[in-house]
Amino acid sequence: RKEVEQDPGPFNVPEGATVAFNCTYSNSASQSFFWYRQDCRKEPKLLMSVYSSGNEDGRFTAQLNRASQYISLLIRDSKLSDSATYLCVVNIGTGGFKTIFGAGTRLFVKA
């Protein structure tokens, strides 16, 4: 079993739609969580951190469920520019930690 698992998609949605991605992690020593965005042939860029209380940044909302060991990302009012691969990222350990990336979920937003 992979340490971080995501549905690879692709998710094909129309502009304006709401779309949600889930990510599960297996290591209970996981300490911090992030969503990164990666455009085709580009480097990953931080989209948002994920906190237990949940957090929102504009059209994006991230949630963490430690009991069930999953995190989610909700995108409201999808834009064409949201088309990308969304990577779930988990840091395991404390102090010097190891970063594990999921394989990513591909999103295509169409007009």
Partner 1 sequence: GAGVSQTPSNKVTEKGKYVELRCDPISGHTALYWYRQSLGQGPEFLIYFQGTGAADDSGLPNDRFFAVRPEGSVSTLKIQRTERGDSAVYLCASSLTGSRLTDTQYFGPGTRLTVL
Q: Does the protein bind partner 1 through residue 53 (CB under 8 A)? A: no
Residue 41 Cβ vs partner 1, minimum distance, rounded to whole Å: 9
Please tell me what DSSP assigns to residue 82: G
> Of the ranges 11-19, 40-48, 65-73, 74-82, which one interacts with partner 1 (CB under 8 A)?
40-48
Query: What region does 3 belong to: left with phi over 0, alpha with psi -120 to 50, or beta?
Result: alpha
Torsional sign, CA 66, 24, 81, 75 = negative
| Radius of gyration, CA atoms only, the chain | 14
Helices (H), 1-111: none
Residue 25 Cβ vs partner 1, minimum distance, rounded to whole Å: 13
Ramachandran angles phi, psi of 105, nearest 5°:
-120, 125
Q: Does the protein bind partner 1 through residue 45 (CB under 8 A)? A: yes
Residue 16 Cβ vs partner 1, minimum distance, rounded to whole Å: 28
Q: Does the protein bind partner 1 through residue 94 (CB under 8 A)? A: yes
Among 14, 28, 40, 43, binds partner 1 (CB under 8 A): 43
Size of the site for partner 1 (CB under 8 A): 23
Ramachandran angles phi, psi of 47, nearest 5°:
-95, -55
Binding site for partner 1 (CB under 8 A): 4, 8, 31-32, 42-46, 49, 87, 91, 94-104
